Amino acid sequence: NDGACSWAQFAQKILFLAHSRAIIVPIERDKFEDGIARPMHTVLAQKKIKQLSIAVPAWEDAINRYIYE
């Protein structure tokens, strides 16, 4: 999908669409110590799919479709 979001933004969007009152509290990577090395930026590249002129919907649209279809 097109665009990028954090895991917190992803969860917030899902909870919003589910009409949940739950609150997502984002934390900074350096505040979360679990001993696991994690990549700093993990957005998937879209260069090849865009070269094929394939329409790539926004990630928000994809979540809407998944929940409502």
What's the mean pLDDT in 17-31?
87
Q: How far apart are CA 54 and CA 2, in angstroms?
A: 11
**Chain-centroid distance, C-alpha 40:** 15
Please give the share of the chain, as a percent, with pLDDT higher than 90.
36
Q: How far apart are CA 13 and CA 19, in angstroms?
A: 10
With 80 as the cut, is the pLDDT of residue 22 above it?
yes
pLDDT of residue 40: 76
Residue 2, C-beta contacts closer than 8 angstroms, at least 6 positions apart:
46, 56, 57, 58, 59
Give the 3-state secondary structure percentages of the chain, helix then strand then coil, rounded to 5.
40, 5, 55
